[in-house]
A and B are shown apart, each in its own frame.
Chain A
Amino acid sequence: MLETLRSLRPFLFFAVGYLALAMFVTNSYYQLIMTLVLVWATFGLSWNMLSGYTGLVSFGHASFFGLGAFATVLAQVHLGISPWIMLPVAAGIGALAGVLIGLPTFRLRGHYFALSMLAYPLTLLYIFQWLGYPEISVPRVEEGAAYYMQFSEGRVYTVLAMILLGIVVLVTRHVERTRFGMSLIAIKQNESAAEAAGINTLAWKLRSIAVSGAIAGAVGSFYAVLILVITPLSVFGMLVSAQALTVAMFGGVASVWGPIIGAAFLIPVAETLHAELGSFLPGIQGVVYGLAIIGLIILAPEGIYWKIRDHLQKRKGKDALPTAVQESAAAEPSAPVTPVERPARELSEEIVLKVQDISKSFGGLKAVQNVSFQVNKGMILGIIGPNGAGKTTLFNLLNGFQMPDGGHVLVNGEDLVRRKPYELCRAGVGRTFQIMRPFKRMSVHDNVKVGAYVHAASEDEAEQITREALELVNLQDISQHIAGSITTKDLRLMELARALAGQPEILLLDETLAGLGSEESQDVVNVIRKLAETGKTIIIIEHTMQAMVQLVDRFLVLDHGELIVEGPPQEVIHNEKVIEAYLGKKWSAHA
């Protein structure tokens, strides 16, 4: 919390400066514009809370905005309730609407999510028109106007809007710095990886849309009081949703500053054009927003804030790079790796994973057929087989990405078949991916921390777990680097650390050695061996045997979805069926 407050310092400077400037503005129209900048900035932050962090683009934030606005005005007109009361109520309505809309709509991804979100406010628009509210105004109050949030002095609204913005910035900052924000960013960058790292993605998305809807509802409520007259089109219309999205994207998504920068640029321009030219160019505002979006997407798709930040970081990165290269060049060349078979180890009797008769077909293709095996605690099990043998599918069945057609997966005796990935992760099954799934924009440290939240009760504990996991894989030195900038080997190790941070008993490693040179792969092998010594059970997929022979305790060979051979490395590599699966019948005779 303290850190959150400290990070607000730039915002406080901004707020004081902006309000000081606002105090000199006496023209009531310019006062309104200054307030509107803050209103749309806040609305942009609301959009950002959902779409910026989770990456699910919403074209429907007008739903929450409009509901807040109508609730506030109608409550005053019919029941005489003050906007001071309605503002938090509107936030509640927004949150509720968010959850109600989110529940069905989060089943959709990408395109369909965006389209569906567009349909909600348009539906509401027609419903409100049908209900007979073509236009509704806030009743003017003569006595006790302040009680109804009515002030003759326009600057009061600017101050109120700033307070609202301040609260929302505080909330956003807090979200950003806790597991809430981390989970959302993880979802955005890679939903499957997030699930596998133990994040209940649906639950976090719902929280996110609830907070987002609450902010939008409150902003809508304030907007109605500020503007005094609302129509279904002015609060539910597409331009409203577009405005939230535009200011956020223009400034920079997934940042506190983005929507503020975007609003500060766009709102004055659009409003001024509207005021100057609106009478004979009625759509000028929309054209400006449209052009802003088009230009932005083509020139700086992530917004001004990130463009500048990336630019600055690149310059910093250029200075840092050469030293790193020198270091690795100076490193001792290690001895060439020869596949040495390792002596058999003593293994625990305890069975941690038992797979019974598991099967999966895709249409007519039997990807995995009646595979059964069991794994002792602390064992390193290698699953090998040619391309298309069903190795990755088997993993997907084990960690819940795909549902098996039949069979059981027992983890410590408990049948976990048909559970979601995050549940399996919590039960102790961690995994890495064949195609790496880093959260590219996050630091190595934060990538790992996402995994740490699975079992950590507090931020401190998560931090502790993260540090330990990074040390286990020897990445502590580059923990602050951005994941997008590190080498393939370090990425593999980072994914390993992320899986480890979830404190799994069983680790599924999907082609962790793929694409690595022999030296690099030796480093990774050493780490894996170290892990096994600490009592982790490891199952590793590879299709090359070389590096595996010296690593694993047992092999499992799959071909065409079937388990063909199981046994210690020594036996398996000389097995005729294995040679046949790899090289074809012709060669098995010669071998």
Chain B
Amino acid sequence: MRCLILIFLCCLPSIVKAQTNCDLYKDRAHKTACQLYWKAIEYNQGSNKSQELFQQSLQACPTFGPSLHEMSVPYLKRGDFYNWKQLMDRAVKADPIWLSDRGWCLFKFLHDYKNSFNDLKRLYDINKGQPGYSGDGDYDLRIVMALNQRQMGNYSTALAYFKECITDNEKKNGVGLFDYLHLGVTRMMVKDYKGAITDLDRETKKYEKLADTYYYLGLCYKKLGQRKNAFNSFTKAYSLFTKTGYHRNDPYCEEPDKVYLSDIENELKTFK
């Protein structure tokens, strides 16, 4: 009996995979494309075997979104934005659901704020104000829309998207891990230091050990002339960064509102 259960558990992933994906398609083209997609992702991302299988998948069904998307990923990560964009444009043309990924990647990898916002706004409109989440799960895409607007210098529009998203997610107890940080930094940019401190304090409750938050708190206190609070915040940021805490880091790209140790050290030097 134990052996049977073990065999069942070992087979479960492939049974679930097959059932939840390819068997749902009624037509032969999609079913074949789907089966080849699953074969392709068994190989290393970006390997010729993987890309060849995606090619075959797309020969079976040229508009099969998962293959277009997955085939595009290594081009994106390796700086070939031409081929990434070509594939993602085809995916979006086939199904606007891929606007989420294209929009998020335009923001993250290319800092193309205008086109990123346009993609996410289109999705926002299609999905009645709920564009979904970023590919890494870090962000409600309304936060990315807000960051796009902020980076284009449209602070009031940015704040409106932050407010809408955070208010909505507070009701669901689902505020993102960095949402208050970005909102706080945006308020700081418009010189609303008290408002920024309120949001950054919220962030410290959400993510207690994030050094970046304390750095921005320090900047706001400094602007308000509260030197003791500023010093304590920078000291806490330094301690979290170097010893007991965390700081924003991503293997692919520099993250928005990321703080460097040199930023904190330079601020601390001004207190000596």
Say if A and B assemble together: no
Residues of A in contact with B (beta carbons under 8 Å apart): none
List B residues at the A interface (Cβ < 8 Å): none
